[in-house]
Structure 1
Amino acid sequence: MEPPVHQPEFEDLTPSDARLITAESMPHHLPGSAQALPLLPQLQDVMVQLFSHHSSAEPILVPAVVEPLLVLVLAGTARVEERSLGGAWQAVKVQTGDFFLTNTSKPYEMRWQTIGCDTFEVMHLYLGLPLIDRAARDLLGEHTAPVTFLDISGAQDERVNFMLNQLRFELIEERKPSLLFVHSLAQALTVHLIRRYLDPQSTTRRSNALQAYKLRRVIDAMNEHLADEFRLAHLAHVADLSEYHFSRMFKRATGLAPSQYFIRLRMSRARHLLLETERSIIDVGLEVGYSSPSHFSQVFRREVGLTPSAYRQA
């Protein structure tokens, strides 16, 4: 059993926090077959997934993901319906080249019916929050608050279409994908999204959020102490706020409680170590603050969707 010193990181999780998942685990929540892509451990801030879907008459509960999600229809036509939990269904007919942009912190429901075909194929692209933050500071100023995007369903955008297809071609068709090219495409796409699909209310909603420079200072402090227990008081001191106000303002800025964000940073570091080094799983767990291998495996599987050993082998 994990020593009590590690337990506080789970105490202030809310039900909405628990519904947030990582991009890696999305295939476990969707029907249809996912196409395996080349594993590029050095690729950061960009994750691509390809799916082939049959019709789904029964609603699918789609979990919220921390990162904004872009979905491009690669082939086929379908009638797609979406709704927030307890809300009314909204339908849109989509075909090759249409895209979706989702930036919600809450799960939602979907169902779809293929039209004139057995399956339709889609591409998922997740853009990392650090990439979005860098692009936002470049476009909007160094002290801009974290941004959010509008939710878009079944729209056409030639630039989005072109850049997503270029990313797909580079990652799948090239024998040796260029990380520089992939990152350049992702950066250009992020800039385009901020210019065209920025939620105009995001600044208003985050007016009481933690300022960008304080947020970066806190995240730096978290990264410096991933092996230590979560200390809310220390982070609040870094931000020069009371614990109560710090927790509220941090969540307004990131969508996550400080403890949950800390866990995500731990898991990000663990994923890097599992893929980039040959260190034992026990050592990796210790590096990110888990003295109990079973506890590390439990948290990793909950956050990533696979056990550490399965993630390394995949």
Structure 2
Amino acid sequence: MRKTEPDIPPLHNHHRVTAESMRHYMPGQPQVMPPHPQVQEVLVQLFNHHTITEPILVPAVAEPLLVLVLAGAARVEERPLGGEWEAVDVRVGDFYLTNTGEPYEMRWQTQGCDTFKVMHLYLGLSLIDQAAREVLGEQAGPVTFLDISGDRDERVSFMMDQLRGELIDERQPSPLFAHGLAQALAVHLVRRYRHAHNGNRRSNALQAYKLRRVIDAMDHHLDNDFSLAYLAGIADLSGYHFSRMFKRATGLSPSQYFIRLRMSRARHLLLETDRSIIDIGLEVGYSSPSHFSQVFRREVGVTPSAYRQA
């Protein structure tokens, strides 16, 4: 963990960071990837790791994070905070799936090599939600995944390697091809690795067509103040019943979901445009730069300026 980084907040229980921000908490620097503005909801990062004997604190993540071993081998140890170490030997093709809601500690010893190379793959929540609806039905709520450490799955390794090749090796990556691979991977994860308690549909949830209508309205009015009455009117429900049914459908309150959409738009604009942070804050509904920075840091884990610089 980069303890000298002033804009990285200390981790606490239940504090989550985006998978994109994970690089701040990992030792070393990721390989610089070319930006792909047309490819959304998919992010690839490559790391070359040396032996780490002192434990690093790995934060909980807000989105699922896949890690694939690309080269080398290592003995990797993990433990919950205050728990016992558990070790697994990993080699090329092994993968990790991280969906934990709690920080944990990790260390590793390379075997037969000085470094081992890994790929981090971030899948956006909208891809996971779409896959859940396709596999479980339109009333499916948000899914969480089992935490997998050093397992092998030929489909996972194949699709991750294909995404790596498309986004890194191709001079002009195809957004259609990359998005198709990411969708296929998301479906496979939902089918095979979703947590058992996510298997049933949610009853008394907001109907799928109303949910899509409400989320579209949110997405087109991110610069406006949040209005529960307006959104409830779109769903033709009272504010109380709308809030309850929306949360059953998504796992979040309407206001929380609205903030998540705002932060998603802000993160995209910070990475893919040169617009000022003040302008970006205004576009997502924050007239006060300090308020925008406060909310962004709470939701993403770093300030807008640190997110852009990193």
TM-score normalised by length of structure 2: 0.81
CA–CA separation in structure 1 for the residues paired with 2:52 and 2:244: 40
The CA deviation at 1:155 is: 0.8
Gaps of 5+ in 2: 1-11
Q: Which of the residues 231, 234, 247 maps onto 1:250?
A: 247
Q: 1:75 to 1:247 in 2, by over 3 A?
A: farther
* Alignment correspondent of 2:5: none
Q: Which of the residues 18, 24, 41 maps onto 1:22?
A: 18
* Residues 1:195 and 2:165 are matched in the alignment: no
Q: 1:20 to 1:158 in 2, by over 3 A?
A: same
* Alignment correspondent of 2:122: 126
* Alignment correspondent of 2:177: 181
Amino acid at match of 2:147: D
Give the match's secondary structure for 2:291: helix
The CA deviation at 1:160 is: 1.1
* Residues 1:227 and 2:230 are matched in the alignment: no
The CA deviation at 1:33 is: 2.5
Deviates more, 1:62-71 or 1:268-277: 268-277
Q: 1:60 to 1:253 in 2, by over 3 A?
A: farther
Per-residue CA deviations over 1:259-291 (Å, capped at 9, x if unaligned) read 444333112212334455565432221111111
* Residues 1:113 and 2:76 are matched in the alignment: no
Deviates more, 1:177-186 or 1:301-310: 301-310
Amino acid at match of 1:265: L
Deviates more, 1:141-150 or 1:269-278: 269-278
Q: 1:24 to 1:212 in 2, by over 3 A?
A: farther
Amino acid at match of 2:247: F
Q: Is the 1:148–1:198 contact (alpha carbons within 8 Å) kept by the matching residues of 2?
A: yes
Deviates more, 1:171-180 or 1:295-304: 295-304
Deviates more, 1:276-285 or 1:53-62: 276-285
Per-residue CA deviations over 1:121-145 (Å, capped at 9, x if unaligned) read 1101111111112222222222222
CA–CA separation in structure 2 for the residues paired with 1:312 and 1:67: 19
CA–CA separation in structure 2 for the residues paired with 1:99 and 1:78: 12
Amino acid at match of 2:73: T
* Alignment correspondent of 1:3: none
The CA deviation at 1:176 is: 1.2
Q: Which of the residues 93, 97, 113 maps onto 1:97?
A: 93
Q: Which of the residues 257, 275, 283 maps onto 2:279?
A: 283
CA–CA separation in structure 2 for the residues paired with 1:225 and 1:269: 12
Amino acid at match of 1:250: K
Percent identity, aligned pairs only, is 67
* Alignment correspondent of 1:162: 158
Amino acid at match of 2:72: G
Q: Is the 1:52–1:121 contact (alpha carbons within 8 Å) kept by the matching residues of 2?
A: yes
TM-score normalised by length of structure 1: 0.80
Q: 1:153 to 1:279 in 2, by over 3 A?
A: closer
Q: Is the 2:139–2:249 contact (alpha carbons within 8 Å) kept by the matching residues of 1?
A: no
* Residues 1:84 and 2:62 are matched in the alignment: no
Give the match's secondary structure for 2:61: coil
Q: Is the 1:171–1:177 contact (alpha carbons within 8 Å) kept by the matching residues of 2?
A: yes
Deviates more, 1:162-171 or 1:280-289: 280-289
* Alignment correspondent of 1:10: none
Per-residue CA deviations over 1:5-34 (Å, capped at 9, x if unaligned) read xxxxxxxxxx766x1112221111111221
Q: Which of the residues 256, 263, 266 maps onto 1:270?
A: 266
CA–CA separation in structure 1 for the residues paired with 2:249 and 2:81: 22
CA–CA separation in structure 2 for the residues paired with 1:175 and 1:165: 16
* Residues 1:35 and 2:2 are matched in the alignment: no
Amino acid at match of 1:54: H
Amino acid at match of 1:51: F
Per-residue CA deviations over 1:18-51 (Å, capped at 9, x if unaligned) read x111222111111122101110112111111111
Give the match's secondary structure for 2:286: coil
Q: Is the 2:72–2:116 contact (alpha carbons within 8 Å) kept by the matching residues of 1?
A: yes
Q: Which of the residues 42, 57, 65 maps onto 1:69?
A: 65
Amino acid at match of 1:201: H
Give the match's secondary structure for 2:53: strand
Give the match's secondary structure for 1:110: strand
* Residues 1:54 and 2:15 are matched in the alignment: no
* Alignment correspondent of 1:8: none
CA–CA separation in structure 1 for the residues paired with 2:79 and 2:242: 33
Gaps of 5+ in 1: 1-14
